[in-house]
Structure 1
Amino acid sequence: MDRQTRSLLAHADHPVAAPLDDSSVDRLLSRAVVRGDEHVIDLGCGEGAWLLRVLRGHPEVTAEGVDLSAEALQRARRGAEEAGVAERLALRQEEAAAFSAERPGDVVLSVGAAHAFGGLLPALEGARRLLAPGGAVLVGDAYWEREPSARAREILGAYEDLAGTVGKVTAEGWTPVYAHVSTRHELDDYEWNWTGSLSRWALDHPGHPDSAEALRAAAEHREEWLRGYRESFGFVCLLLRRTPG
């Protein structure tokens, strides 16, 4: 089973591919989309959960979504058609880091997709290239909530604590104008959905050639989360604008 298929199955019950509940997503979007006629670009849009929500709520907003997964983009397209917003949504199947927009974004999103760029700062640089003057970037990434174990670092890689994460962002010429730190409930709910949705698919399809692999992947992920990084992992969404000068 390839990574893209596994991700789609794991996010079946949590289409926002990050540890955020609906109220947090709505609040972040309300701070990012303030005029109601913005052009919004989502780098690593997946099934388009963020874009569909903002398009449904703002009839004058237009949007572009970029992702490598053809199946995720097909789902985003179907969702847009069902919501009656398809004419305002363009979807591109390509590398987010290589994407070049014909129209700059008043709001550029990259939540939980920094890995596609090689890290948080490269993701912000990629977003900056697409940003209209005076626009805002909404980026979401992991940080260490408390000192991680060696095992946690091995699983997830190198991150800063929250202060260090914000510090390196501001050092690159960004000013936070709002933020959301995921709660324990949001973090746990996301992981239980990820492992549970993938496990349920595997149990519901016992004869499928990928069933055993999916069940193993869910069990391994659950073990890494519970015994590896649960006590130290955090996630923050930062709404950023460029600092003058």
Structure 2
Amino acid sequence: MDRQKLSALAHTHHPIASPLTDDTVLRLLDRAVQRPDAHLLDLGCGSGEWLLRALAAHDRVTAIGVDLSTEGFAEARERARELGVADRLDLRQQDASEYRSDRPADVVLCVGATHAFGGLLPTLAAIRPHLADGGVAMVGEAFWEREPNAATLAEFEAEPDTYADLAGTVDQVVADGWTPVYGHASTAEELDEYEWSWTGSLAQWALDNPGHPDSAQALEVATSHRDGWLKGYRGIFGFVTLVLRRTS
């Protein structure tokens, strides 16, 4: 099955592709969007869910979402029409690392998509040219809750130093010339909800579509992912969303 299609199915019941509740998402957006007419840019926007929620909550905000895949774009545009925000949303199919801004953004988001730039610090470097003076970056990144075991490293194809712990992650950001003005470390409940939703949505689709040529593979992926989580990285993998302003 195409990777983007698989991801879309897995996020059916949890459209925010990160371990965050709806209330947390709105709180983070409220802390990031400081101007009523703010312009937002989401690099690696996926189905545009962050932008849809920002546009629905702020009636003068405008937004551009950039993603290499258009999986979910049609649904996002339909939802934008239903919400009455379609004229304020622009979705562009492009490699986020190659995108060049038409205008500076007051808020630049990259939550759960730092892999597109090669990690946290390269992502922050990519955000800088897009950000208006006094603007805000919102970045979501993994960290180690505790020392990763061999199973976790294998699951993420990672090394022990691929991620830092939470304090080390914030230290890296500060040393790179940014100041956190807000943040949220996903709770154990949020992490569990995300994983149950991811694996469960994919498994449910496979069971509901037994004759589909991708059904067996989808169920296999859901099972493997669930095992990797429950028998490996649960309690080790953490996720933090930081709201940042440039210090220098």
| Range class of TM-score, shorter chain | over 0.9
What corresponds to 1:77 in structure 2? Answer: 77
CA distance in 1, matches of 2:79, 2:126: 27
8 Å Cα contact 1:105-1:135 kept in structure 2: yes
Letter in 1 for 2:122: P
What corresponds to 2:67 in structure 1? Answer: 67
Aligned match of 2:226 in 208, 217, 222?
222
Q: Which moved more, 1:72-81 or 1:2-11?
A: 72-81
Q: Could you tell me how far 1:107 is from its partner in structure 2?
A: 0.2
Letter in 2 for 1:189: E
Aligned length: 244
Q: Could you tell me how far 1:71 is from its partner in structure 2?
A: 2.3
CA distance in 1, matches of 2:210, 2:69: 25
CA distance in 1, matches of 2:104, 2:79: 24
Q: Which moved more, 1:148-157 or 1:60-69?
A: 148-157
CA distance in 1, matches of 2:22, 2:36: 20
1:203 aligns with 2:207: yes
1:71 match: secondary structure: coil
Gaps of 5+ in 1: none
Q: Could you tell me how far 1:77 is from its partner in structure 2?
A: 1.1
Q: Could you tell me how far 1:101 is from its partner in structure 2?
A: 1.1
Q: Could you tell me how far 1:155 is from its partner in structure 2?
A: 1.6
What corresponds to 2:96 in structure 1? Answer: 96
What corresponds to 2:118 in structure 1? Answer: 118
What corresponds to 2:43 in structure 1? Answer: 43
Letter in 1 for 2:206: A
Q: Could you tell me how far 1:44 is from its partner in structure 2?
A: 1.1
What corresponds to 1:190 in structure 2? Answer: 194
1:103-160 CA distances to partner (integer Å, 9 max, x unpaired)? 1110000000011111111111111121011100000011001111122122222211
Q: Percent identity?
A: 61
Aligned match of 1:167 in 171, 189, 192?
171
What corresponds to 2:127 in structure 1? Answer: 127
1:67-98 CA distances to partner (integer Å, 9 max, x unpaired)? 12222222211111111101001110011111
8 Å Cα contact 1:46-1:76 kept in structure 2: no
Letter in 2 for 1:220: S
Query: 1:23-38 maps to which residues of 2 (within 5 A)?
Result: 23-38=23-38
1:138 match: secondary structure: strand
What is the TM-score of this pair, normalised by structure 1? 0.98
**RMSD (CA atoms):** 0.8
Q: Could you tell me how far 1:208 is from its partner in structure 2?
A: 0.3
What is the TM-score of this pair, normalised by structure 2? 0.97
1:235 match: secondary structure: strand
CA distance in 2, matches of 1:217, 1:103: 40
Letter in 2 for 1:219: T
What corresponds to 2:241 in structure 1? Answer: 237
CA distance in 2, matches of 1:79, 1:131: 27
8 Å Cα contact 1:73-1:93 kept in structure 2: no
